[in-house]
């Protein structure tokens, strides 16, 4: 092996000067994609080219210094954090978020039904800070950053403003009942005497279903967004998810992943934070891989027809909203 190291040092730069070579190293030689136990000089090329198409200077010899070479096609080598970078025009699949949120996924470019303006589609909890519309977490006109704040986005990375959202209704919310308000007021008078730093609040439990976790943002200029989804390309239409159907998504964290629909018409409780939960109904569950930060990804069939908006998941499953609810409640379309 020591001899291989010496050969690598001696011939490294002459090999790297060859047009198609992108790297060199030491490894075991492959034959028909099977590894042997024979050490060799490994020459990585962007694309393999037939020997007869290369001139003598560009061809890699079968042996160097009496030891074998192995030419391996590796393709283009790029940083794996592309989805976390600022990109203009920005594409679906990249990092995005409300300025108070860590980061989620730019799901798709849609159009407003009335104005026909291009809008950025993602989740409420990505673009509108999981607001219920009354809690002050977000409001129309708030800055939307690309990349999201967690990925380094700041004031200079504003790409849009919050345009419209569907409120997320919690399992427990503050009560607006006059009787409850009176009890709170009386209780706080007594509590102030014993624990001045504490406050009594009465929360009411609701059994209200959400159908979507969705919001749209208005780009600062139409040219700031590109409709082609990273690693998927253009959407070819809209469809409804079917049991057993194979689906794909392009997300900020886990990239391009695939799975199949295992259940639909699902009602389930979703954890929003350590203290908050919400009920969602008419949802679709898939075994497709997703991770935190993938929220907001558009879910498509392998034929590139959009079927849903990813918003939640567990260690093994991903959950998405049906697009008929997303588009209907947001008054948008692809």
Q: Write out the chain's pLDDT in tens, 334 residues.
A: 678 888 888 888 888 888 888 888 888 888 877 778 888 888 888 888 887 788 888 888 889 888 888 888 887 665 445 799 999 999 999 999 999 999 999 999 999 999 999 999 999 999 999 999 999 999 999 999 999 999 999 999 999 999 999 999 987 655 555 644 555 555 556 556 666 665 545 344 456 889 999 999 999 999 999 999 999 999 999 999 999 999 999 999 999 999 999 888 988 888 888 788 888 888 999 999 999 999 999 999 999 999 999 999 988 889 999 999 999 999 999 9
Cα 168 from Cα 324, distance rounded (Å): 17
pTM over cut 0.85: no
Characterise 152 by phi-psi region: left (phi > 0), alpha (psi -120 to 50), beta (else): left
Cα 64 from Cα 194, distance rounded (Å): 85
Cα 302 from Cα 236, distance rounded (Å): 10
- Residue 284, SS3 per DSSP: strand
Q: Which residues contact residue 183 at a Cβ distance below 8 angstroms, ignoring those fewer than 6 apart?
A: 202
DSSP 8-class letter at 82: G
Which domains, from first to last, does the chain contain?
2-73 (3.30.300), 82-169+208-333 (2.40.10.10), 172-205 (no CATH)
Paired with 204 in beta bridges are 173
Tell me how far apart the 2 most distant CA atoms of the chain are, in Å. Answer: 92
Cα 290 from Cα 112, distance rounded (Å): 28
């Amino acid at each position: 092996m020591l001899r291989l190291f010496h050969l690598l040092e001696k011939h490294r730069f002459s090999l790297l000067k060859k047009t198609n070579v992108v790297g060199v190293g030491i490894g075991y030689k492959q034959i028909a994609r099977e590894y042997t136990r024979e050490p060799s000089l490994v020459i990585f090329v962007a694309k393999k080219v037939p020997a007869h198409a290369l001139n003598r200077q560009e061809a890699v010899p079968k042996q160097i210094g009496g030891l074998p070479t192995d030419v391996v096609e590796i393709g283009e080598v790029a940083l794996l954090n592309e989805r976390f970078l600022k990109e203009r025009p920005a594409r679906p699949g990249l990092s995005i978020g409300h300025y108070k949120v860590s980061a989620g996924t730019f799901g798709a470019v849609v159009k407003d039904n009335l104005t026909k303006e291009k809008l950025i589609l993602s989740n409420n909890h990505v673009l509108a800070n999981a607001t219920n519309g009354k809690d002050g977490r977000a409001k129309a006109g708030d800055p939307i950053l690309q990349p999201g704040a967690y990925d380094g986005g700041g004031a200079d990375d504003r790409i849009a403003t919050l345009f419209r959202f569907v409120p997320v209704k919690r399992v427990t919310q503050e009560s607006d009942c006059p009787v409850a308000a009176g009890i709170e007021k009386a209780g706080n008078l007594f509590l102030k005497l014993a624990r001045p730093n504490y406050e009594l609040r009465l929360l009411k439990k609701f059994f209200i279903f959400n159908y979507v976790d969705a919001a749209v943002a208005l780009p600062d200029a139409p040219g700031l967004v590109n409709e082609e989804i990273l690693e998927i390309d253009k959407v070819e239409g809209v469809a409804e998810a079917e049991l057993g159907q194979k689906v794909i998504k392009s997300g900020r964290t886990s990239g391009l992943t695939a799975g199949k629909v295992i259940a639909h018409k699902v009602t389930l409780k979703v954890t929003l934070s350590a203290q908050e939960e919400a009920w969602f109904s008419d949802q679709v569950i898939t075994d497709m891989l997703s991770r935190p930060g993938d929220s907001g990804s558009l879910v498509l069939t392998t034929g590139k027809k959009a079927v849903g908006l990813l918003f939640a998941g567990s260690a093994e499953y991903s959950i998405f909203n049906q697009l008929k609810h997303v588009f209907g409640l947001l008054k948008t379309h692809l």
